[in-house]
Chains A and B, each alone.
Chain A
Amino acid sequence: MNSLTPRQRRELKEIIISGIIFFALMVAQHMNLLPESVNNAWLWCALYLVPYLIVGRDVVRKCFLGIRNGNVFDECFLMTLATVGALATQEFSEAVAVMLFYQVGEFFQRYAVGKSRNSIETLLSIAPEYANVIREDGTVEEIDPDDVEIGDTLLIRPGEKFPVDGTVIEGTGYINTSALTGESMPRSVDEGDAVISGCINGENLMKVRADKLYEDSTVMQILELVENASSKKSQTESFITRFARYYTPAVVVAALVLAFVPPIFAGNLMDWVMRACTFLVISCPCALVISVPLAFFGGIGAASRIGVLVKGSNYLEMMSELDTVVSDKTGTLTEGRFTVSDVYTADDVSRETLLGLAAAVESGSTHPIAVSICEAYDGDVTAFDVKDPVNYTGKGFGASVDGKTVLVGKRSLLEAEGISVPSLDDVAGSVCYVSADGKFIGRIAVSDSIKIGAADAISKMKQLGASKVVMLTGDSKSAAEIASKELGVTDYKAELLPADKVTWVEKLLSEITGKRRFLAFIGDGINDAPVLSRADIGIAMGSLGSDAAIEAADVVIMDDDITKVPRLMKIASKTVGISRMNIVFALAVKAICLILGALGIANMWAAVFADVGVAFICILNSMRMLTGKSENM
């Protein structure tokens, strides 16, 4: 309760004071405490007007302001009309009670919305509040992050936030990226590495050169994205807005009919007018109009807490109806780095010898296979005496290493030189066979390893409703086939050119039938821009710091973690579930109360509950999205 604004505090006081006076008056009236001589209607009216005006004067004021501004049929007008009508029919306590109850409801509604807003703001309080600039004379000055200029040298002490995007110029250690990625695993940085704003420094002092202004740095971009995401409305929200537009005039017409038609036959005009007022009070669509956007707001907040930026409520909604998930292979489902994955040595040849000789031959090349072989070798490649290098274009390399003739390449290369190569079990990745002085000494396989958790993520996606998970890659068929078995995808297409990927996505889009309607593509942003835009939802991964990816995609996963995709699907279905629950509940209660109100069975108490209470319950329900524990998602 200490988070109330001054206005809210005043409102609460008015409610309490008015409530106390009202209760006292009720007791006095029912216990006939006033002497007979003054016990008349006018006195009670005047007495009840006191709590009425304390709690309701804002409502009455807004009613008249509304009429003056041409905005006649708003909530305040209805409430004023209804309660004045009650006063006129000498239902004094009812008038005050209704006004009091209405204001209590409004108060809680505003409080709930305020809390939701605060919740999102603390979520997003990843923004750094200050920056320490090292001036040319060596002094350290604490300034506003807005004032940091490109090229400034910044001092980041242990535990402090990096204020802007930049490059480490001094210091190494671990930094905490959890504010942006949701991951608590620290990331190691070294001199020359890029760091982005919002990360928290580990235990070592660091000096960073500012590469971007505060307003262009990642944190501000993220905040902007999340804030603006709510303005891209989901289909559900658009429906509600359109519904409200037709609904309101329809209800007003119904109320007028209710007020004036039955009295023609049955008389009792005042009675029917009162019922019509009650009817109008019940009908207010506030519950729907507030709670549905709030649920989506909460969903986007929940996603950003796990390091996933969803650029619009509509995308979140689509995620809950995914039929097909298409994914790039290299870098998305796999690590994107080639490493030596299998080493077969002929008898009496050691692994180190094999790797050493192969590395020596490959040491000049920048080909990924060559690089990985050299990385796998523990010793010093330069220790070898390498002479007469030969490039068998397309087939491999050869050289004289410490006097031995070594060949590294395809099976056909060795066999062409008369070397017999035994047939070995198939293995994933690219293989090269190694021979020394005409004898086969071993085989090295270099492949891209599947990301930990990728297979699990794919099976979760299927569990959550995706009927197809398809892998598209430019890689070879054999590599793709082996990867697809390990990953558990429903289908894969290999050896694709970028344009082919778009064609396949279009084909998959046309194959979607059934209730679930959308296709998502997961890629690494930069190369996959056309496919990302063709898909219904473009998901870019590994985007820590990549502007291009953030621009091109609809959903941005800040780190490389593909398990976030099924987690996002869960958040999406929870959000849509809550908003549907709200819509059904609000409409059902309203419909019942409207019918009861028209028949005269429900009085104004019920009317106000239907309006305000339902809205309040729906808002609380939507807030579940915001406060849900991210571990459950």
Chain B
Amino acid sequence: MKKKFKLQDLDCANCAAKMEDAIKKIDGVEDASVSFLTQKMTIIGDDAKFDEIVAQAVKEISMVEPDCKVLL
């Protein structure tokens, strides 16, 4: 499954890179990209685990940049 999310208050390019790396490491994720410029996150992953993946991704994001919100 491939899903796109809009991110809010993502202001640091370094943070976007860190988030992308962290999300790629989540179990079941095939590929992920976080674009600092368009404030969008794309995750391609296992259909069955997708909800867990998203929840984990949200956690990773707030660990890197606590003020960044994911618009689900």
Contacts and interface: CB of A to CB of B under 8 A. Distances in A.
A286 B35 contact: no
B24 interface: no
A340 B37 CA distance: 52
A297 B37 CA distance: 8
A285 B9 contact: no
Nearest to A64: B66
A231 interface: yes
Contacts, number: 47
A117 B63 contact: no
B13 interface: yes
A117 B13 contact: no
Contacts of B38: 117, 227, 230
Interface in A34-90: 61-62, 65-66, 69-71
Contacts of A241: 17
Contact of A289 (B17, B33, B35, B63): B17
Given A69-B63, A70-B63, A71-B63, A289 B37 contact: no
Nearest to A114: B11
B13 A231 contact: no
A286 B37 contact: no
B66 A65 contact: yes
A244 interface: yes
Contact of B13 (A62, A69, A106, A293): A293
A71 B35 contact: no
Contacts of B9: 7
B67 to A, nearest CB: 8
Given A231-B35, A293-B36, A297-B37, A113 B64 contact: no
Contacts of A113: 11
A7 B68 CA distance: 12
Interface string A104-129: 00100110010011001000000000
A290 interface: yes
B6 to A, nearest CB: 12
B43 to A, nearest CB: 13
B11 A110 contact: yes
A117 B6 CA distance: 14
A286 B33 contact: no
Given A117-B37, A230-B37, A290 B63 contact: no
A263 B27 CA distance: 47
Contact of A286 (B14, B63, B66, B67): B14
Task: Pick the most buried of A7, A70, A106, A231: most chain B CB atoms within 10 A of its CB.
Answer: A231
A386 B63 CA distance: 85
Contacts of A70: 63
A623 B38 CA distance: 15
B12 A286 contact: yes
A62 B66 contact: yes
Contacts of B67: 62
A294 interface: yes
Interface in A581-630: none
B4 to A, nearest CB: 10
A65 B65 CA distance: 9
A293 B37 contact: yes
Task: Pick the most buried of B11, B13, B33: most chain A CB atoms within 10 A of its CB.
Answer: B13
B57 to A, nearest CB: 15
Contacts of A293: 13, 36-37
A117 B12 contact: no
B14 A231 contact: no
Contacts of B17: 241, 244, 289
Contacts of B33: 231
B35 A230 contact: yes
B33 to A, nearest CB: 5
Contact of A294 (B12, B14, B37, B63): B37
Given A230-B38, A231-B35, A71 B64 contact: yes
Contacts of A285: 14
A289 B17 CA distance: 10
Contacts of A66: 66
A285 B9 CA distance: 20
A294 B64 CA distance: 21
A294 B37 CA distance: 7
Contacts of A231: 33, 35
A230 B20 CA distance: 15
A244 B33 CA distance: 18
A106 B37 CA distance: 16
Nearest to A5: B9
Contacts of A71: 63-64
A116 B37 CA distance: 9
A244 B16 CA distance: 13
Contacts of A117: 37-39
Contacts of B39: 117
A487 B64 CA distance: 56
A244 B14 contact: yes
Interface string A468-510: 0000000000000000000000000000000000000000000
Nearest to A70: B63
A294 B13 CA distance: 10
Contacts of A294: 37
Interface of B: 9, 11-14, 17, 33, 35-40, 63-64, 66-67
11 contacts: A7-B9, A61-B66, A69-B66, A70-B63, A71-B63, A106-B11, A230-B35, A286-B12, A286-B13, A289-B17, A297-B37
Closest 6 A-B residue pairs measured CB to CB? A69-B63, A289-B13, A290-B13, A65-B66, A297-B37, A110-B11
Given A113-B11, A286-B13, A290-B36, 15 more contacts: A7-B9, A65-B66, A66-B66, A70-B63, A71-B63, A120-B37, A227-B35, A227-B40, A231-B33, A231-B35, A244-B14, A286-B12, A289-B17, A294-B37, A297-B37
